[in-house]
Amino acid sequence: DIQLTQSPSFLSASVGDRVTITCRASQGISSHLAWYQQKPGKVPELLIYGASALQSGVPSRFSGSGSGTDFTLTISSLQPEDFATYYCQQLKSYPYTFGQGTKLEIK
Amino acid sequence: EVQLVESGGGLVQPGGSLKLSCAASGLTFSGSALHWVRQASGKGLEWVGRIGSDADTYATTYGASVKGRFTISRDDSKNTAYLQMNSLKTEDTAVYYCTRLERSFYYDSSGYGYFYYMDVWGKGTTVTVSS
């Protein structure tokens, strides 16, 4: 199985900050990676697919990059509604594993 | 609008069984691959399994923690997918989400193919396994 490791697991930041979350795969997955945002008590929502393609309706302050084993999710200027938990997921091969999550909190 | 609505969750004793349903609307159901993802309280997301579309001959795949105990099926005439859970364990306690797997074609210097992603999620149904 392909393991995904996100870092950091917890991140404290302020409104307006630029933040980056990293996701590392245990083996190469080309660009078969998606990012999701989950707010407390809510359903996960798709942000990015294909490592860098922005899902329709997602603000342009979100961006993704990477290929192979190393990927990043960047939020260019944090907004109050961005404080949530973020998950990466590989969709290269079954099982479609998720990273352990990164909780983004308000500083 | 595409919608997925899960139902069937509840309290069950260890060793018991439960069958979840995922009712879909707003999509071509037979052509859609559906996945189940679960989340224990305060924990991360765990992929449970999937059932492919008619083009994929309704193939099923399962995560290691549920393989042999859980079975995913579908009834295209009812636009509904199911997750049959047997031999339940306390560690199966979680919110269970039904999701649609969508795909996007790509063509670049490395070749061509599809990127897959879970673009529609149901609100989830809660399963509690406890004596």
Structure tokens at B108: 């670049």
Q: Could you say which residues of chain A have pLDDT below 50?
A: none
Please report the pLDDT score of residue B109 as a whole number: 84
Please give the average per-residue pLDDT across B33-46, as a whole number.
98
B115: chain A residues, CB-CB within 8 Å: 31-32, 49-50, 53, 91
Structure tokens at B98: 């039904």
Tens digits of per-residue pLDDT, B62-94? Answer: 999 999 999 999 999 999 999 999 999 999 999
> Does B13 have pLDDT greater than 90?
yes
Residues in chain B: 131
Q: Do A30 and B110 touch (CB under 8 A)?
A: yes
Nearest to A94 among B61, B97, B119 (CB): B61
Please report the pLDDT score of residue A70 as a whole number: 98
Nearest to B117 among A1, A91, A97 (CB): A91
Give dist(CA B53, CA B56) in Å, integer. 5
Q: How confident is the model at residue B61 (pLDDT cuts 50, 70, 90)?
A: very high
Q: How confident is the model at residue B110 (pLDDT cuts 50, 70, 90)?
A: confident
Mark which residues 30-89 of A lie under 8 Å from B by CB.
30-32, 34, 36, 38, 43-46, 49-50, 53, 55, 87, 89
Candidates A11, A7, A38, A41; CA nearest to A24 is A7
Please report the pLDDT score of residue B108 as a whole number: 84
